[in-house]
A = this chain, B = another copy of it.
Amino acid sequence: MTTQTGHTNAIAASRVMGTEVYNSEGEHIGEIEDVMLEKSSNQIMYAVIGFGGFLGIGEKYHAVPWSALDYVPDQGGYVVPFSKEMLQNAPSHSIEELTGNNGLNARNASYSYYNQTPYW
């Protein structure tokens, strides 16, 4: 996925977090809560999108491959190329299911469900 063109842009994780996310129909589906990183490689595992819940209670999260996020300035947020229905049926996780060694399962389920080419 690395480009050799010099068009590589740096984006700070702190700026990614809190950015709104929209589906392919332009509907708001949530926001980026966090970005999960691999300790033992140089790779971004996935973005964590939060949806539902109230003040963090009962909130569920999607793990979405980084490569699926496309920043669209006109919308002021990321657009993922997935329909509302696909996102509603996507694997969702508690925060515990996304961290430590559990993160690997969430990552694999995400890449499989969204049919993204694994980076590993």
Q: By the criterion CB–CB under 8 Å, are A2 and B41 in contact?
A: yes
Q: By the criterion CB–CB under 8 Å, are B43 and A42 in contact?
A: yes
Q: Which of A41, A98, A106 has the most CB of B within 10 A?
A: A41
Count of identical protomers in the assembly: 2
Type the 1/0 row for A81-112, where 1 means its CB is closer than 8 Å to any CB of B: 00000000000000000111111101100000
Whether a CB of chain B sits under 8 angstroms from the CB of A57 is no
- A37 to chain B: which residues have CB within 8 Å? 10-13, 16, 35, 44, 66
Type the 1/0 row for A40-51, where 1 means its CB is closer than 8 Å to any CB of B: 111111001000
Q: By the criterion CB–CB under 8 Å, are B34 and A12 in contact?
A: yes
Shortest C-beta distance, A67 to chain B (Å), equals: 6
Shortest C-beta distance, A28 to chain B (Å), equals: 22
- A48 to chain B: which residues have CB within 8 Å? 12
Q: How far is the CA of A71 from the CA of B9 in the complex (A)?
A: 27
Q: How far is the CA of A78 from the CA of B71 in the complex (A)?
A: 31
Q: By the criterion CB–CB under 8 Å, are A17 and B10 in contact?
A: no
Shortest C-beta distance, A46 to chain B (Å), equals: 9
